Amino acid sequence: MSDESRSTIITMPVESLLPADSPRLAGLNADHVRALAECGAEFEPILVHRGTGRVIDGMHRLRAAILRGEPRIAVRQVDGTAADLFIRAVQANTGHGLPLTLGDRKAAARRILATHPHWSDRAIAAVTGVSPKTVGAVRGRCSSEESPQSNPPAPPVPRVGRDGRVRPADMPERREKARSLLVERPRATLREVAQEAGVSVSTAHRLRQELRSGAAASEAGPRRPGAAAGLAPEDAACPAPLVVAASPRPSGRGSLVPLTSLPAPADATSRGPARIRVRALDVLANDPSIRFTDSGRALLRWLNGQAQGLAAGEELLAAVPPHCARALTEVVSHYAREWERLAAGLQRTDPLNGSWRTAR
């Protein structure tokens, strides 16, 4: 359909125009027509189908012009199919003039579902002025009426959203399948899970992050400050959690900064370094000069962000195409060398006289 804002305004004889295919179930409102006729203001141009002369929007203004005895009325001509023109009429009536009733809008949603079943609930809701939940309920009633229980269910039809993008109608089922695959096959790559479940790699990555966050929260439980500093020998076989400070500042003098737990690497070869890292972070988190100073808490938050970045990086690297691996290796190696430079500078720090920058 053409955009009426760019169309030329012309005048047409009022008797040459056909009545609108209106979304109003009760027809025209006589009181509103009289109010328009008596106000004396100049009307905005009405919308008329170019080929047939049928009014798309503006029947109240047309009737008011007739009551005034005006032989012609200003119009904007538009093109389109009957189904598209009805959508244009609903849009116009929900945007200005006498509002449509809830019954009018529900009936309009039902009619648009019949002509545009591929539209999403949100797209139809934006046109009709009802909630997406209401459109979904209308869609469900239409499906149950048109598909008796004895008939096999029809395959879901992809839907077009408000942004024009086509999305599968069974996305909740696809996400649930991807979530099940991530639980059953934790070592599967994101690309494999995405391809088998029919979702994007980014969706698979988000679902894996949600699962890991939920597992970490359920396994962490209440944690006593300083508990990670003394790991028992029997705990050596299990990956220890990474403990860092997350609160921006303590609630009062002497209060403890809440801690958050992140899973340590599950690889057996990394458990030894992971335990050393946890002990070191626990020492930092419980040192008063770190725990109760703004700069110390900022340091702990920064370390926490670095750990989270490493965990997210492993997921993102799994989706990197092979031809980008070499360039990405250069970037990762550069960052690793910078970390080694920082560590070397810290090793030369004089614990009694000055900061690590002076030691460098």
Q: What is the pLDDT of residue 94?
A: 82
Determine how many CB atoms are found less than 10 A away from the CB of residue 124. Answer: 27
Buried b (16+ CB within 10 A) or exposed e, 190-217: beebbeebebebebbbbbbeeebeeebe
Q: What is the pLDDT of residue 297?
A: 84
268 pLDDT tier (thresholds 50, 70, 90): very low
Q: Which residue intervals of 40-131 are DSSP H helices?
A: 59-68, 82-95, 102-115, 121-128
246 pLDDT tier (thresholds 50, 70, 90): very low
Q: Phi first, then psi: what are they for 26, rounded to 5°?
A: -90, 5
Residues listed for the chain: 360
**What are the sequence ranges of the domains in the chain?**
9-143, 166-215, 287-347
Pull the structure tokens for residue 177.
Answer: 């399948």
225 pLDDT tier (thresholds 50, 70, 90): very low
327 pLDDT tier (thresholds 50, 70, 90): confident
Q: What is the pLDDT of residue 180?
A: 87
Q: What is the pLDDT of residue 234?
A: 39
194 pLDDT tier (thresholds 50, 70, 90): confident
Contacts of 156 (CB under 8 A, 6+ apart): 168, 169, 170
Q: Phi first, then psi: what are they for 129, rounded to 5°?
A: 80, 25
Q: What is the pLDDT of residue 167?
A: 62
pLDDT over threshold 90, residue 46:
yes
pLDDT over threshold 60, residue 228:
no
- Give the long-range contacts of residues 202-207, CB within 8 A, separation 24 or more: 203/175, 203/178, 204/178, 205/315, 205/316, 205/319, 207/175, 207/178, 207/179, 207/182
Compare 273 and 131 and report the one with higher pLDDT: 131
Query: DSSP letter string over 214-244?
Result: HHHHHHH-S--TTGGGS--GGGGGSPPPEEE
Among 15-29, 66-80, 204-218, 234-248, whose mean pLDDT is lowest?
A: 234-248
**Tokens 């949100």, residue?**
122
Pull the structure tokens for residue 158.
Answer: 């992809």
pLDDT over threshold 90, residue 356:
no
